[in-house]
């Protein structure tokens, strides 16, 4: 099937408005006869479910946690972008559009990104109306901070808990509709397959995680807002339950999977401390507003810090290498994430890592504390030369801005970041790749939509900070409710979809067989054993720097591991009860397939772009020497993979990317 | 570290349940409490025994999923943290640790250490929202200035993660801190004032129907709340409730 992205004609500025003016609408009386399934209650799914219900559709929403409020979006820390230009610093829809396309290293679809930038401002209005308590200035207006890869302050935030506040906003909108009976909520339900009838998505199969019951649910359309697949690396900043299962099942039913290799490795996470580790913790990018990143200039100081004979804060300024400020003077500590992560890896690979494992750099707040302290002393008319007072005042400012993050750090590392620099290292954080969707956010399966992190759409090969929250809410509140209406307008006479059909029965049978297999297999190793092994292969060979040899090895190692898994996995307990090992087994089985496709995609893409860095594609000389080298001539396309059985048989379809409103340039942050 | 664990095991909601002893060894002080339980579970799976079921997801103190009652305290001995943020350095080699679910009539046990906190969701369905449509046809965000002090207070109340530790630590199993936090968040914001009367009445009514106990001001909830939600929120809810009752 040829890919049709269905981008509306006309100038980019007018596309969305024109589109909305010309789509088919469903009248309110007919909406009552139409059912929509929304899987996922994060920012994307939650906002979509609430809005669709409010429009009058009958919504069934699903999540695997015990409440929609616990979706992984809750953990987002730093903020949400919007082109409000409240700071009067030159922001605009165009600039947000431009920054996002450039930040994504020119691998996203212009029309989608422009629409995202266009609706962004409205998200903030909406959230404030819902009572989301964003940070404010003394005058009562909204405050902003800046994030990496841009030159304006357009990030709205609620301390270090922005995701929590936005999700609770969407959750409250859902609650209103649940109270009215327009959303039926299914907590602790895991979707295990999509059901297609006459080629259209018409339902899902779920497992009730408490009772083990397998259920059939039908609807006129199915929406997936099931989040990212970073946990294919085992260790990531994602929640423990985040998984690819819903997306992967959709893929197996005909939805193309786009750019699986585009993964964001976030530069500021707490380093790995040992083999027992179950997940990694992010320290928000917002910290780079005030923290300066460095390692010692000289190896002897590295040794002394590691040995504990030199305290990092005692190392003289001239003996420190603020390598981001040195290499990228224009953006300094605020370069985009992919650039910052590679720079940290480069220093650590050269031996300058500052902890026992050699995989950590410093993120230092000392100068910000002094700067804020002096400012406060001045404002309050106190002595600006009183060092102790200035430090105390400065620490208070930092505490107000990032208190929860500092506390989190202290609990995990057992060091006080107010008095000694934090240690950080890159970790897997976000997946730009995902299910391919057209301009309508519909997948290659009619009636199956995909929103939020689960789709591939807006961030190209690298996502800018604070843009995932923006995309999730844009998709759910403002985009999908229009585009899905256009599709559903054909269903006003269809009537309820029966679950008593062969299609549902077959899908259910397949799900049951898989579950039965797991509990009866009685193999040698736990699910985690395989997941950890997969994670190691992914991190070592498909991680921050990739090459042909490593990728080729990864492909065959993952395949072998998958075979071993199906032979030897051990799942205790039964089907008919709460059984976390069983749930995990299904998820890891899917990760084991995705992992291989991921490596295959990385091998196919013989260029470096955004988060995808190929060691054989770097600038060899000039000012950009050593930086990533994109190949627009051969790779300015979205790689959309069609499922054909084994991942090795997947067929590549290309959506060529056209850049009409932004000139393709080498990304420079120097 | 080597530890003895006394853990509540209960097959399902109708099972009676009992405490069972387990031993774990070579626990590093840098592990989180849940990572220590991962070690136990791996051990159980390898010995063909059933792993201990417990709720968790984000493992960074924000989703509110984890909910263990450790040595007689909700979220364990540390202050200002959830179970998932509790680290083994709080314990000593040779310690015996008792681990139970969050207990309350309104939170029935599902299995082992997992409870059903659906009652919290239902209280929110009754009024935990501002009735605006999500279609985007709202006024400009900066058209509603909010005094920073109130905005900060509303934010503090809104940081409640809905874990239920307040209920589990209260001898009356009262949910006043949880409900007070939501009522306060909206009561402090101009956007929330319009529906204030109905909101507080409906949420309190639902809270009573769910079988949570009365508040007798013992303050245990505030002490154990991982997010430092203050008793001030209960006082604010009481005054909102009084105002609403007089009106209504
Ligand atoms: C620590 C951290 C900090 C972040 N900070 C920021 C930030 O400051 N700014 C920013 O813009 N972005 C940030 N991000 C990224 C952002 O939070 C996510 O990309 C975004 O929240 C994803 O939202 P979502 O709605 O797509 O999915 P999620 O919030 O992940 O929701 C997925 C939903 O799908 C459900 N689900 C999944 N699979 C199934 C299944 N099989 N059956 C049933 N239900 C299922 C889950 O229960 C859940 O409800 C951060 C991410 C992390 C990890
Ligand atoms: S008030 Fe505190 S203890 Fe109670 S649910 Fe909220 S965060 Fe948990
Ligand atoms: S697991 Fe999320 S708060 Fe503990």
Distance CA A170, CA A405 (A): 23
Segment B78-125, tens digit of pLDDT: 999 999 999 999 999 999 999 999 999 999 999 999 999 999 999 999
Residue A81 bridge partners (DSSP): A155
Which residue do the tokens 């060529």 mark? A656
Relative to the CA of B169, which ligand 2 atom is closest?
3
Residues A458 and A229: beta-carbon distance below 8 Å: no
Tell me the mean pLDDT in the region B55-63: 97
Q: What is the pLDDT of residue B248?
A: 64
- Among B24, B59, B62, most A C-beta atoms within 10 A, so best to mutate, is B62
Residues A235 and A442: beta-carbon distance below 8 Å: no
Tell me the mean pLDDT in the region B45-64: 96
The burial of B98, by beta-carbon neighbours within 10 Å (0-12 exposed, 13-18 middle, 19 or more buried), is given as: middle
Q: What is the pLDDT of residue A285?
A: 86
**Domains by residue range for chain A, with CATH:** 269-427 (3.90.700.10), 501-656 (1.20.58.100)
SS3 label, residue A602: helix
Helix (H) or strand (E) holding B99: strand B96-101
pTM of the complete model: 0.97
Task: Give residues 194 to 233 of B whose Cβ lies within 8 Å of A.
Answer: none
Per the structure block, which two tokens stand in for A513? 């067989």
Task: Tell me chain B's radius of gyration from C-alpha atoms.
Answer: 20
Task: Give residues 76 to 115 of B whose Cβ lies within 8 Å of A.
Answer: 78, 80-81, 85, 87, 89, 110-111, 114
Judging contacts by C-beta atoms under 8 Å, the chain B residues touching residue A55 are 135
Closest CA to A630 of A595, A652, A657: A657
Active site residue A207: no
Per the structure block, which two tokens stand in for B200? 């507080």
Residues A296 and A443: beta-carbon distance below 8 Å: no
Distance CA A531, CA A233 (A): 8
Smallest Cβ–Cβ distance between A408 and the set B35, B56, B60 belongs to: B60
Distance CA A518, CA A566 (A): 9
* B53 alpha carbon – ligand 3 mean position (Å): 15
Interchain proximity A175–B128, CB inside 8 Å? yes
Distance CA A513, CA A495 (A): 31
Distance CA A597, CA A261 (A): 8
User: Does residue B62's CB lie within 6 angstroms of at least one atom of ligand 3?
Assistant: yes
Architecture of the domain spanning B117-247: Orthogonal Bundle (1.10)
Give the Å distances, CA to CA, from A357 to A272, A352, A360, A423: 9, 11, 8, 12
Judging contacts by C-beta atoms under 8 Å, the chain B residues touching residue A176 are 129, 131
Domain ranges of chain B: 3-111, 117-247
* A125 alpha carbon – ligand 1 mean position (Å): 22
Best residue among B68, B107, B161, B203 to mutate for probing ligand 2, ranked by most atoms within 8 Å of CB:
B161
Segment B117-176, tens digit of pLDDT: 999 999 999 999 999 998 778 999 999 999 999 999 999 999 999 999 999 999 999 999
Which residue do the tokens 């029966």 mark? A498
Residues A147 and A334: beta-carbon distance below 8 Å: yes
Closest CA of chain B from A73, distance in Å:
9
Interchain proximity B138–A408, CB inside 8 Å? no
Distance CA A186, CA A229 (A): 22
Distance CA A443, CA A480 (A): 12
* Share above pLDDT 90 across residues of chain B, in percent, rounded to a whole number: 97
Q: What is the pLDDT of residue B83?
A: 98
Give the CA diameter of chain A: 80
Residues A478 and A16: beta-carbon distance below 8 Å: no
Find the distance separating the first CA and the last CA of chain A, reported in whole Å: 42
Q: Please identify every stretch of chain A with a pLDDT value under 70, giving residue numbers as ranges.
A: 1
| CATH of segment(s) B3-111 | 3.10.20.30
B148 reaches A (C-beta below 8 A): yes
Give the Å distances, CA to CA, from A250 to A396, A505, B78: 49, 17, 43
Strand order across the A637-642 sheet? A434-435, A257-258, A637-642, A651-656
Per the structure block, which two tokens stand in for A559? 């395949």
User: Does residue B56's CB lie within 6 angstroms of at least one atom of ligand 3?
Assistant: yes
Distance CA A369, CA A367 (A): 5
The nearest alpha carbon in chain A to B47 belongs to A572
Smallest Cβ–Cβ distance between B191 and the set A131, A278, A577 belongs to: A131
Angle at A386 between CA A382 and CA A387, to 5 degrees: 130
Per the structure block, which two tokens stand in for A29? 């009386």
Residues B174 and B198: beta-carbon distance below 8 Å: no
Segment A310-361, tens digit of pLDDT: 999 999 999 999 999 999 999 999 998 999 999 999 999 999 999 999 999 9
Closest CA to A425 of A345, A320, A480, A537: A345
Residues A89 and A150: beta-carbon distance below 8 Å: no
Strands (E), A9-148: 35-39, 58-62, 80-81
Angle at A117 between CA A113 and CA A120, to 5 degrees: 135
Residues A478 and A462: beta-carbon distance below 8 Å: no
Tally of helices (H runs) and strands (E runs) in chain B: 9, 7
User: Does residue B65's CB lie within 6 angstroms of at least one atom of ligand 3?
Assistant: yes
Give the Å distances, CA to CA, from B216 to A90, A492, B200: 55, 55, 19
Judging contacts by C-beta atoms under 8 Å, the chain A residues touching residue B126 are 179
Closest CA to A278 of A229, A232, A243, A236: A236
The nearest alpha carbon in chain B to A211 belongs to B12
Relative to the CA of B177, which ligand 2 atom is closest?
1
Segment A609-622, tens digit of pLDDT: 999 999 999 999 98
Tell me the mean pLDDT in the region B25-48: 96
The burial of A301, by beta-carbon neighbours within 10 Å (0-12 exposed, 13-18 middle, 19 or more buried), is given as: buried
Closest CA of chain A from B200, distance in Å:
15
Q: What is the pLDDT of residue A3?
A: 94
A277 reaches B (C-beta below 8 A): yes
Return all residues near A120 (Cβ < 8 A) that are at least 6 apart. Answer: A81, A82, A83, A84, A93, A96, A470, A474
């Amino acid at each position: 099937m040829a890919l049709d992205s269905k981008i509306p004609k006309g100038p980019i500025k007018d596309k969305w408005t024109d589109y909305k003016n010309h789509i088919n609408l469903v009248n309110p009386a007919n909406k009552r006869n139409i059912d929509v399934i929304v899987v996922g209650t994060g920012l994307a799914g939650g906002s979509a479910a609430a809005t669709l219900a409010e429009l009058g559709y009958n919504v069934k929403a699903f999540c695997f946690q015990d409440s929609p409020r616990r979706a992984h979006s809750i953990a987002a820390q730093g903020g949400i972008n919007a082109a409000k230009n409240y700071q009067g610093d030159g922001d605009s829809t165009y600039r947000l559009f431009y920054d996002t396309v450039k930040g994504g290293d020119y691998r996203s679809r212009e029309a989608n990104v422009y629409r995202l930038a266009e609706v962004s401002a409205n998200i903030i209005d909406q959230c404030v109306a819902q009572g989301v308590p964003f940070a404010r200035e003394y005058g009562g207006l909204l405050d902003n901070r800046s994030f990496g890869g841009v030159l304006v302050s357009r990030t709205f935030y609620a301390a270090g808990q922005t995701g929590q506040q936005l999700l609770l906003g969407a959750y409250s909108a859902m609650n209103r509709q649940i109270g009215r009976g327009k959303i039926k909520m299914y907590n602790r339900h895991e979707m295990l397959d999509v059901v297609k009838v006459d080629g259209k998505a018409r339902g899902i199969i779920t497992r009730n995680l408490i009772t083990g019951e397998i259920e059939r649910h039908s609807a006129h359309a199915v929406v997936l807002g099931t989040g990212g697949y970073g946990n294919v690396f085992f260790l990531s900043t994602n929640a423990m339950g985040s998984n690819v299962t819903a997306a992967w099942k959709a893929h197996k039913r005909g939805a193309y999977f786009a750019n699986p290799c585009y993964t964001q490795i976030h530069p500021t996470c707490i380093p790995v401390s040992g083999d027992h580790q179950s997940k990694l913790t992010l320290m928000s990018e917002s910290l780079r507003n005030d923290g300066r990143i460095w390692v010692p200039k000289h190896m002897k100081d590295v040794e002394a810090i590691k040995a504990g004979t030199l305290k990092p804060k005692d190392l003289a300024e001239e003996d420190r290498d603020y390598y981001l400020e040195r290499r990228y003077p224009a953006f300094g500590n605020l370069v985009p994430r992919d650039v910052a992560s590679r720079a940290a890896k480069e220093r650590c690979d050269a031996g300058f890592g500052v902890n026992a494992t050699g995989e950590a750099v410093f993120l230092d707040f000392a100068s910000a504390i002094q700067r804020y302290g002096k400012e406060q002393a001045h404002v309050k008319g106190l002595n600006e030369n009183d060092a102790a007072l200035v430090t105390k005042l400065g620490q208070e400012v930092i505490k107000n801005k990032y208190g929860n993050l500092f506390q989190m750090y202290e609990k995990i590392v057992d060091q006080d970041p107010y008095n000694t620099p934090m240690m950080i290292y890159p970790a897997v954080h976000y997946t730009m790749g995902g299910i391919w969707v057209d301009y309508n956010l519909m997948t290659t399966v009619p009636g199956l939509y995909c929103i939020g992190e689960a789709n591939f759409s807006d961030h190209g090969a690298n996502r800018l900070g604070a843009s995932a929250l923006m995309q999730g809410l844009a998709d759910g509140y403002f985009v999908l409710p229009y585009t899905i209406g256009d599709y559903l307008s054909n269903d006003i006479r269809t009537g309820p979809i029966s679950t008593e059909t062969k299609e549902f029965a077959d899908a259910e049978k397949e799900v049951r067989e898989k579950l039965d297999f797991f509990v009866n297999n009685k193999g040698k190793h736990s699910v985690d054993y395989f997941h950890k092994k997969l994670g190691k292969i992914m991190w070592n060979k498909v991680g921050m720097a990739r090459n042909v040899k490593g990728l080729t090895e990864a492909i065959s190692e993952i395949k072998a591991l998958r075979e071993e898994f199906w032979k030897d996995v051990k799942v205790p307990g039964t089907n008919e009860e709460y059984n976390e090992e069983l749930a995990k087994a299904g998820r890891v089985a899917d990760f084991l397939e995705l992992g291989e496709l991921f490596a295959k995609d990385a091998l196919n893409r013989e260029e470096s772009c955004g988060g995808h860095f190929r060691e054989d594609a770097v600038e060899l000389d000039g000012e950009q020497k050593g930086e990533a080298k994109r190949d627009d001539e051969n790779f300015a396309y979205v790689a959309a993979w069609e499922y054909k059985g084994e991942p090795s048989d997947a067929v590549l379809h290309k959506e060529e990317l056209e850049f009409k409103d932004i000139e393709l340039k080498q990304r420079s942050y120097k | 570290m080597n530890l003895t664990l006394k853990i509540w095991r209960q097959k399902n909601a109708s099972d009676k349940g009992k405490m069972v002893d387990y031993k774990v060894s070579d626990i590093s002080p840098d592990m989180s409490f849940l990572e220590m339980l991962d070690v136990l579970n791996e051990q159980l799976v390898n010995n063909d025994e059933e792993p201990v079921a417990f709720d968790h997801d984000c493992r960074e103190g924000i989703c509110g999923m984890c909910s263990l009652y450790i040595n007689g305290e909700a979220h364990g001995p540390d202050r200002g943290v959830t179970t998932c943020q509790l680290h083994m350095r709080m314990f000593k080699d040779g310690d015996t640790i008792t681990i139970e679910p969050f207990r309350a009539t309104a939170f029935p046990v599902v299995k082992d250490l997992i409870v059903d906190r659906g009652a919290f969701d239902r209280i929110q369905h009754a009024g935990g929202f501002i009735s605006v449509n999500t279609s985007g046809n709202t006024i400009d965000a900066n058209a509603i200035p909010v005094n920073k002090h109130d905005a900060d207070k509303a934010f503090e109340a809104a940081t409640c993660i809905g874990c239920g530790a307040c209920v589990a630590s209260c001898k009356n199993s009262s949910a006043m801190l949880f409900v007070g936090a939501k009522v306060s968040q909206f009561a402090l914001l101009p956007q929330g004032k319009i529906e204030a009367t109905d909101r507080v009445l409906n949420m309190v009514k639902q809270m009573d129907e769910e079988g949570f106990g009365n508040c007798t001001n013992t303050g245990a909830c505030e002490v154990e709340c991982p997010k430092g939600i203050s008793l001030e929120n209960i006082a604010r809810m009481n005054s909102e409730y009084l105002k609403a009752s007089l009106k209504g």
